[in-house]
Structure 1
Amino acid sequence: MKKRIGMVVFILIFGISLAACVNTPDEKAVVDKSEGLTEEIIIPKEDKIPKELGVPEHWQETIDKGEGFVNLSADCDIRIPDVYNTPVYSYERQSMTNKLLKKLCTYFSKGDKFYEDPAMTRSELNSQKDKMVNYKGNWGRYGGALDRKNVQEMTARMDELIEKAPESTPEHKYIDARLMAPHQTEVEYVKGWWYTRIWHEWYYDTEEKIGFTARIDKGREIDPIIRAINYDDRVGSTTGFVFSQGTFIDEKELERDYMLQKAFEYRNEEYLNYLNDKMEQTVDKTFSEEDALKEVDQILEDLTIEGLAVTDCVKAIGTMNSESWAGLDEDNLPMDVGYSIYLSPKAGDLLGYPFPRIYLYNDLPETLYAPSFLTERLRIIVTKEGIQRFEWIDISKKKDTIAENTKLLSFDQIKDRLVEHLFYANLSTLEETEGYHILYEVKSIQLRAANINAYEDPSAAWLVPVWVFDLERSLSYQTTDQSLEDLTGIDTVVLNAIDGGYVTLQFD
């Protein structure tokens, strides 16, 4: 007899989707067993001697906890550069004022006018419906029997839109760049919660003037779209701005999609392999990585964006002339190629780490940190033709310096905390442990900086040093008459490097 269970609640963070659901933490929502930073943790700035953390160049070890219940296996290189200073900074959310909105919109419009995002026509919606019900492109992930109910529900919402859709595209209704009540696009209505690349359903549940959606009249087959939002404690939103032209995907996103394919046994491997082939085959020798980085430097200078540093620069492909809900699915679609540059705040010798995914557990008997907003992040996709995407999320501003430098736990202490966390996390998700064996294989390790809740300042967040562990998990269950299929997936565990506390999020 085979048996399957759900290990944890698994939520993906794409753009600002998760941050939007986060409540400002209070005494009931956040278990913070720290008491700020004690005197022995705060140390002077250091310019000559790097921290001695005891990090091995190659970590090879097996650690067992709970008599085989949890097993951690490591056999990987660790590439951590010399670290001298690990400060703690306090950040607060920056408002998307009409002044800032106009500045950003003016920069990307280059003098062209804005118009309301028009309703999709009946034929456009029918074309998207055909791709959805036939599982084309990235709709293939819904091809499994368990997911077809989701497609049926989305098809019903699509039919609602088709019934009232116009036969032709209406004339442009020009508007000014100013905050107004939020606007929900058709794809967001149809896909609902699952459309988490940029926005989330909370965005449409208010009439407060905190949003802006518009097309820029450039006379193209597909005009670029701008989305903006202001933070509002009453609805739980955080500040963000997106400019997008067409449809693009980069190597990091493709790698993530392969991970999801493996973890959830999605049925879109053929489409992902197609994208992978296109990623390898599409080349532009006239536009280099250095060209893209120079353009990003110029963008930051033009918009006076400071305090961010490049964390990744990867290849990106896509098209300026399609916004298909199925992704880059069209036959013989000509591909543009460029680079996707990721940026995050710099804290001393560490770079910010925005959560790509998060796991929610029942109460854990350990120190938990839950920020009211995530680490600021900026992604810019640039091709030879210019900016194709500018995604600036959880826009923040530095409020204070809590400590210029901090003492960190040794690597031996951190790996012990990692195993303890994995043990507690699995205890919280299983009603019984007998017969279960959970194996974690360490895939990568980073020393970064991430937001946690600020001590005695619920509206702010502290950017603190953190260890980030990517782990491949497999689970087995064996008794005399039952067996459990292996469940594999990538877990990411983020631990406060100062005290080993687990960094997570809180939700409604």
Structure 2
Amino acid sequence: MKKKMVLCLVMSFALCLSGCQKTPDKSSVVSKADGLSEEFIAEPLESGETRTVDMPEHWSASEKKSNDRVTISADLDLGKLHTGNLPVVEMANHTLTQKELKEYAEYFADGEDFYVPQVDTKEVFQKVIDRIDQKEGVYANPTLAPFNDLKSALEEAAESAPETPPEDQKAEFKFHKKSEDIVAMASDSWYSKLRGEVEQTPDAEAFFSADVGKNRLSHIEARSYNPKLANSSSFVWKTGTGGYSLEYIQQYIRMNEYSPDTSGYKEKFRDLLNQFQATLEQETFSKEEGQKQAENVIKDLDIPEMSLLSTDKILWFPEEAAPDDRYGKSDDFYWQADLKNAKIGYRYDFTRSYGGDFGRCVYRGCHKGYNGYIYCTVPNRNGVNDSDR
């Protein structure tokens, strides 16, 4: 039942697919207006007519390798290839409307109000600074580069951050220009130096963000397709952490073994990661139960023709028990997380493909089935060309 679920949703409308269509009476024609040269424009074929593909009937080749010690030769009769009218898949960027934005948000909100996101307070940044100064968690790793740039950026952010959060302000379901969080930008300045020039966002009213409920345990980030941004529409509902799969944790374990550390940090981190792996390997609800939940949500959202591709067992943490690792080193999450608060579930990867992986949904069914996570590249919901929407 959707009202009992608290879900984390990521929906991307990069491509809107019309679905497999019946073989047309005439082949599709590419318009000159699309900017292609004359040689690439296909003329329509009459019913039953075929066209010979421009390729040689015979192909031969010879190539020497390994200082001419090995010769690879090919000599093939290819014959003539004829093609007729082919099925067509139509694709177009979907513009996420304010009506759809409200529809998706209210589906998961369970009657909660929506609020304008708040600027983080000094305390948020000071906690990370203190961990750096006291060499706690990942900051005790002597093999990592000094954290001077990170600390300086956090101190700059703390200086401009408010002592207390501002008063609650309800959010309006309306796309707006991308707002700049000066405090958060200051805290990320150390990373910007590594990354190089910061990408500038064109001035376009195509963004929406909100916190959900008085306790702000869920969050929404959405954007609408805009040619100026060269983007795609997306809707993100997030509550709790994403999900740590066995493969992801084991990757960290392998990377840790390559560390040249001799201080004892390497062994402590190994023990910690092994605890994460042992927790993940515990029993939870059945995969079949979670799959039914995933299929029901996809059905409620009217995302057609999706089929299950893969399933992964994962570990995640609810929002109220998840360490805040937004401004520090991401590895510090393992050191701060309390495994007593961990939840175990499954990630279900659905796909809808037409000659390629165009449509994809990932659902995270979690503890008791009341929490979840969805990632979707969503095809056009109505099964028709969406270019006019």
Higher strand share: 1
Aligned to 1:382: 365
Partner Cα separation in structure 1 for residue 40 and residue 142 of structure 2: 43
1:58-95 CA distance string (max 9 Å, x none): xxxxxx96769xxxxxxxxxxxxxxxxx9773322211
1:193-232 CA distance string (max 9 Å, x none): 979xxxxx75x7244211111110153xx61111111121
Aligned to 2:298: 300
Q: Residue 247 of structure 1 contacts residue 318 of structure 1 at CA under 8 Å; is this kept in 2?
A: yes
Q: Residue 246 of structure 2 contacts residue 280 of structure 2 at CA under 8 Å; is this kept in 1?
A: no
- CA shift, 1:393, in A, is 4.7
Q: Which of 312, 315, 335 in structure 2 is aligned with 1:314? A: 312
Aligned to 2:83: none
Partner Cα separation in structure 1 for residue 99 and residue 123 of structure 2: 38
The 3-state SS of whatever aligns with 1:89 is: coil
User: Residues 105, 252 of structure 1: CA spacing in aligned structure 2 closer, same or farther, 3 A cutoff?
Assistant: farther
5 Å-filtered alignment, 1:57-136, equals 89-131=89-131, 134=135, 136=137
Q: Which amino acid aligns with 1:177?
A: F
Higher helix share: 2
Q: Residue 363 of structure 2 contacts residue 375 of structure 2 at CA under 8 Å; is this kept in 1?
A: yes
Partner Cα separation in structure 1 for residue 317 and residue 41 of structure 2: 51
TM-score normalised per structure 2:
0.62
Aligned to 2:18: none
User: Residues 183, 265 of structure 1: CA spacing in aligned structure 2 closer, same or farther, 3 A cutoff?
Assistant: farther
Partner Cα separation in structure 2 for residue 258 and residue 309 of structure 1: 31
5 Å-filtered alignment, 1:475-486, equals none
- CA shift, 1:271, in A, is 5.0
- Establish whether residue 224 from structure 1 lines up as the match of residue 224 from structure 2: no
Aligned to 2:285: 287
Partner Cα separation in structure 2 for residue 315 and residue 126 of structure 1: 35
1:422-473 CA distance string (max 9 Å, x none): xxxxxxxxxxxxxxxxxxxxxxxxxxxxxxxxxxxxx9xxxxxxxxxxxxxx
Q: Which amino acid aligns with 1:281?
A: T
- CA shift, 1:34, in A, is 8.3
Partner Cα separation in structure 2 for residue 127 and residue 290 of structure 1: 42
Q: Residue 340 of structure 1 contacts residue 381 of structure 1 at CA under 8 Å; is this kept in 2?
A: yes
User: Residues 156, 16 of structure 1: CA spacing in aligned structure 2 closer, same or farther, 3 A cutoff?
Assistant: farther
TM-score normalised per structure 1:
0.49
- CA shift, 1:240, in A, is 1.3
- CA shift, 1:298, in A, is 0.8
Q: Which amino acid aligns with 1:392?
A: C
Q: Which amino acid aligns with 2:178?
A: P
User: Residues 339, 286 of structure 1: CA spacing in aligned structure 2 closer, same or farther, 3 A cutoff?
Assistant: closer
Q: Which amino acid aligns with 2:336?
A: E
Aligned to 1:250: 244
Q: Residue 180 of structure 1 contacts residue 209 of structure 1 at CA under 8 Å; is this kept in 2?
A: yes
The 3-state SS of whatever aligns with 1:329 is: helix
Q: Which amino acid aligns with 1:214?
A: A
Partner Cα separation in structure 1 for residue 42 and residue 143 of structure 2: 49
Q: Residue 135 of structure 1 contacts residue 142 of structure 1 at CA under 8 Å; is this kept in 2?
A: no
Partner Cα separation in structure 2 for residue 205 and residue 392 of structure 1: 24
5 Å-filtered alignment, 1:20-419, equals 89-131=89-131, 134=135, 136=137, 144-145=144-145, 148=146, 152-183=148-179, 190-191=187-188, 205-217=201-213, 219=215, 223-251=217-245, 254=248, 258=252, 261=255, 271=269, 274-275=272-273, 277-282=275-280, 285=283, 287-320=285-318, 321=320, 322-325=322-325, 326=330, 327-330=333-336, 332-333=338-339, 334-347=341-354, 352=357, 375-383=358-366, 384=368, 386-393=370-377
